[in-house]
Chain A
Amino acid sequence: MDLHPPTPWTVAGATLTSRMMLGTALYPSPQAMADAVSASGTEVLTVGLRRLQPELGGGEAFWQRVRATGCHILPNTAGCHSVDEAVTLAHMAREIFGSPWIKLEVVGDDYTLQPDPFGTVEAARTLVRDGFQVFAYTTDDLVVAQRLHEAGCAAVMPWAAPIGTGRGPLNPYALATLRARLPDAVLVVDAGLGRPSHAAQVMELGFDAVLLNTAVAQAGDPVRMARAFAAAVTAGRLAFEATPMAERQTAQPSTPTVGQPFWHAVP
């Protein structure tokens, strides 16, 4: 399949062709992850940071594998429950990866993993001041997204549904409102997408990109699903750029009515 590539876009100073960012967790094997990354065509990979026990190994090997992809690395602050934790972890990430990119997550509720809007905005302001390029994970709340954009975030990343649920956009109206009210912001739908049709749906709304992990990694065939999402993201973006037709309430024939045979013929 040779799809027309979507228009390149820019985030945090990087010009990208792929509009699909991909997580590195939950794959059946490291090789499956590498193959899915390759199949997706992604240029941005998210990674986490956790305590390193030298006797258990790890760390360096995973990092080497990720670095070999040549992708931009977007480390996250997943699991942080406070502004201080998130800011400290962001600084640790910047030293490890030599990059100011940070996916800011401040958890507000452990059951839904709903981000803490107050902590997220406060941490975003601090990190922007400290020179970070902040990709802020948030809900679909318009005012919080506005505050994050005003704070200088490189990207505002609303959820479609809670992390890992795969339920797709629970509130398309709210997502469409974000796009309409923040036309100049880089908006990336992060979390909750389960199927390629979900990705196409939000891309048709005009989102700049999507960020996926579980939907690809936990698919029966992650490599094939990575390809499916890539095609859907491209299709959705092309559709947005093409401006979909207006919906109508009533049927309207697409075949001309002029010259209709048997017109007004009485049986």
Chain B
Amino acid sequence: MTTTPAPLSLNGQACDLPAEATLQALLRQRGYDVDAAAFACAVNGRFVPRSQWSLHALGEGDRVDVVAPVTGG
């Protein structure tokens, strides 16, 4: 029996791995303005600093979270 690997997910939604499988490439592919300062990333629940986005390799099953400031108490 074969198992299908879990797809890559971005903010909880399945998405395709970009040709260049890095965090920065994924963000660009999904329309994020990577030069804007007001967001940060985590992969599989671990913080990935901005300086590592272009180096951080992604694979099937990785869970990417991108957060930005919102109203809060």
Contacts and interface: CB of A to CB of B under 8 A. Distances in A.
B40 A54 contact: no
Contacts of B36: 59-60
Nearest to A64: B38
B72 A75 contact: yes
Contacts of A93: 40
Given A92-B42, A95-B40, A66 B69 contact: yes
A24 B72 contact: yes
B5 interface: no
B47 A48 contact: no
B71 interface: yes
Given A76-B72, A78-B73, A84-B45, A52 B66 contact: yes
A155 B38 CA distance: 26
B41 interface: yes
A89 B38 CA distance: 14
B69 A91 contact: no
Given A60-B36, A92-B47, A52 B71 contact: no
B69 A48 contact: yes
Interface string A16-48: 000000011111000001000000000000111
Contacts of B69: 47-49, 59, 62-63, 66, 75, 96-97
Nearest to A91: B47
Interface in A45-79: 46-55, 58-60, 62-63, 66, 75-76, 78
A214 B42 CA distance: 30
Nearest to A22: B73
A78 B72 contact: yes
A228 to B, nearest CB: 18
B19 interface: no
Report the 4 A-B pairs with minimum CB-CB distance, sorted nearest first.
A48-B72, A59-B68, A23-B73, A213-B73
6 contacts: A24-B73, A25-B73, A59-B39, A85-B45, A95-B47, A163-B73
Given A48-B73, A96-B39, 9 more contacts: A48-B70, A49-B40, A50-B68, A51-B65, A59-B69, A76-B73, A85-B45, A97-B69, A213-B73
